[in-house]
Each structure stands twice: as structure tokens, then as C-alpha cells.
Amino acid sequence: MTRPTRVAVSLARLRTRDGVWLDGVVAEPRRRRAALIWVHGLGSVFSSGQMLIQELSSRLNAVGVGYFKFNTRGHGVVAGRGTQLAGAAFERFGQSVADIRAMITFAAACGYGKVILAGHSTGANKVLHYAARAHDRRVTGLILLGPVADVAAAVKQVGARELRRRVAVAERLVRRDPLALVPRAWGYWSARRYISLYRPGEDEDVFPYYRPGARWPALRSVTLPIAAIIGSRDEFLDRRPEELIDAFRWNAVQARSFTGVVLQGAGHNFAKRERELADVIVRWVRDPGAPLSVGS
């Protein structure tokens, strides 16, 4: 495959209904068929993943799809928001609905009647949560990239018993002050965000494959075409990637179509696999219902 054609990328800025400014980049084709909005992961920023931005924006533009990538209010570790704290450490997960709605509205104002939401890591949690809560008819498909449960990843790292202890400590802290920080050894988190990330059953816990018998209410309610893409070497996996894909497939009970892809050799951030990932995404965007295998 040849290197992607360079495309013009513009800086952009939008404002959510509740007054938060979000910076980002936009790459638009001449023929506007649809828009893909990329929602970044936990603590990331719109400018991260330059190689993937180049690969994906150029490939999408070639088939008439605009590329949009904006900060969420949870960008970085700590971000100022007037007199309030934001960034990953202080972000409230439910407010991601306002962020994504503003991104879709911005794309619509640019002339795109159809929008595909592509969320990476925590961004995958957010786009699924948005689709389940907002029922936005402008959204025509979901791409979940690296959709690993934070609880499962933490259990793999520190063990189930220790994670339960830490959540209990965070619960005590949040009763005194929601913005209080958990012990630094656990990462830079407010107690409230720590609970959101690591207490099973929270709104943010939309991929509960680690809990036998979990109901998966968000995924089970979505009727859109869905693609789930996971790297075979994702460092946060607690099981074989094929097992994770199967769990998604079994619970995407109302999805118009479901496509699961394991990208061989890729880690959580798909570094050095940008070209293969862009190829998978573009082929799915062109025909969400078609069988898809890597390398075909």
C-alpha cells in the first residue's frame, strides 16, 4: 500500500451547550458523504496519534467522509474550565454526552447529515453511552476501538481484593469532598472519578464482560451497526482478544450488524499499526454489513 495522500487539516473550535470550549482538527473531502467523529481516550488530546490522523483522514476523505477529532472536556490530566476543574482526573463521565452532541452538531453545520462515532479506549465507553442515552438519529454507526473495561484492567494490575479496598477508600473520601484526590500511588484521580472508573455498575462501566451474568444495558439497547476492534497485544486485556469480541457479539442483540476485528500485533494505542487500522475502518465505513477480515 502506498503512503496516504496528504490532506488539508484545519484547526477548529466548538462550544458545548453548557459553555465548554473544545479544540480540534477537521479534514474535509470535496464530496461530503458522511462524517467520522473520533473521540479520544482517557487523558488524551485531539492532537495525539499524528500518524493515525494522517492515515485515517486521507483515506476517509478519498471516499467522501469527513474526519473530525476534538478534545473532550476530559482531555489531559487536569484542564481548566472557568472556576471548575476538568481533565481526566476531574471529568464527570455523564457530561461526555454534551461534548459528543456538540461535535455532531458542528459536523451537521458543516453539511454532514450522517455521522459515525469512533471512540478509542474511554472514548469507546463514551460513544456507546451517547448512542444508548441520546438516540441521536444523525448517528449511523459506532466504532469501538480498544474497548477494554477499566475495572478488568485494574483487577489484572492490582487484584480484585485490592481494587475493592481502594474503591472503598475513594467512597469515604468522596463523602467528605468529591474533588479530594486518592493516594498518589493509585494515579492522579479525584475520588469521584476513581469511583466512576473502577466501581462495577457505574455509568462508565459499559463493557462488563468481566462480570458473569452482567446485563450490558447500553450495548443491548443500540440498534446501529457496530464494529469492535481490539489489538491482539492490547496490554490491558485480561483474556484472549477473541473472547472479548465474542462477548460484544453476544450482547449486540439489537445492532443492525456487528463486526468484530482482532488486529494482529497491535497494542492498545495501535502504534505502528495505523495503516492496517485505517484500512479496516475505511472498509467498514463503506459497507458496515459486509464480512470483514484483516488483510482481505
Give the residue-averaged pLDDT of 74-94.
85
CA R_g for the chain:
18
pLDDT, residue 1, reads: 47
Residue 228 has pLDDT above 50, yes or no: yes
Give the pLDDT of residue 289: 78
Q: Do 36 and 92 reside in the same domain of the chain? A: yes
Helices 160-176 and 150-158: crossing angle in degrees, nearest 10, is 120
Among 204, 220, 250, the domain boundary falls at: 204
Identify whether residues 58 and 185 lie together within a single domain: no
Q: Is 253 within 8 Å of 30 (Cβ atoms)?
A: no
| Number of Cβ within a 10 Å radius of residue 112 | 22
- Reported as a single tens digit per residue, the pLDDT across 199-214 is 999 999 999 999 999 9
163 plus 270 within the same structural domain: no
Same domain, 80 and 193: no
pLDDT at 6: 64
Mark whether 155 and 134 lie in a shared domain. Answer: no
Domain shared by 235 and 246, yes or no? yes
231 is a domain residue = yes
Examine residue 193 and state whether it is found in any structural domain, yes or no. yes
CA atoms lying within 13 Å on the CB side of residue 263 = 25
Q: Please give the backbone phi and psi of residue 260, each rounded to the nearest 5 degrees, phi first.
A: -115, 130
Given this model, what pLDDT does residue 83 score? 62
Best CA proximity match to 88, nearest among 40, 124, 50, 53? 40
Average pLDDT over residues 231-246: 98
Does 2 reside within a domain? Answer: no
CB 225 within 8 A of CB 257: yes
Model confidence at 80: pLDDT above 90: no
Confidence of residue 296 (pLDDT cuts 50, 70, 90): very low
Identify whether residues 145 and 242 lie together within a single domain.
yes
- Indicate the DSSP class of residue 100: H
Inside any domain, residue 271: yes
Over range 39-60, report the average pLDDT: 95
Say whether 249 sits in a helix, a strand or coil: helix
**Distances from the Cα of 203 to the Cαs of 125, 193, 227, 234, in angstroms?**
9, 12, 21, 23
57: amino acid identity, one letter: S
Q: Cell numbers 467512597 label which residue? A: 171
> What are the angstrom distances between the C-alpha of 187 and each of 19, 125, 190?
29, 20, 9
Task: Tell me the residue ranges of DSSP E strands in the chain.
Answer: 10-15, 21-27, 34-39, 65-70, 79-81, 84-86, 115-120, 139-145, 226-231, 258-263
Answer yes or no: is 162 within a domain.
yes
270 and 143 co-located in one domain = yes
pLDDT at residue 9, rounded to an integer: 83
Taking only the tens place, the pLDDT of each residue in 2-24 is 555 566 789 999 999 999 999 99
pLDDT band with cut points at 50, 70 and 90 for residue 91: very high
SS3 content of the chain, % helix, strand, coil (to 5): 35, 20, 45
Pick the last residue of a domain from 175, 204, 233: 204
Residue 19 lies in a domain: yes
* pLDDT score of 67: 98
Does a structural domain hold residue 296? no
The residue out of 204, 231, 246 marking a domain boundary is: 204
Q: Confirm whether 294 is domain-assigned.
A: no
Residues 40 and 155 in one domain: no
Residue 87's domain comprises: 10-149+211-286
Q: Do 91 and 190 have their domain in common?
A: no
pLDDT for the residue 273: 97
Question: Mean pLDDT across the stretch 228-246?
Answer: 98
Q: Examine the domain organization and report whether 37 and 136 are in the same domain.
A: yes
Domain at 14, CATH number: 3.40.50.1820
pLDDT in tens, 147-195: 999 999 999 999 999 999 999 999 999 999 989 999 999 999 999 999 9
**Residue 43 clears pLDDT 70, i.e. is over it:** yes
What pLDDT, on the 0 to 100 scale, is given for residue 98?
A: 97
Phi and psi, residue 144, nearest 5°:
-105, 110
The mean pLDDT of 38-63, rounded to a whole number, is 95
54 and 126 inside one domain: yes
How many independent structural domains does the chain possess?
Answer: 2
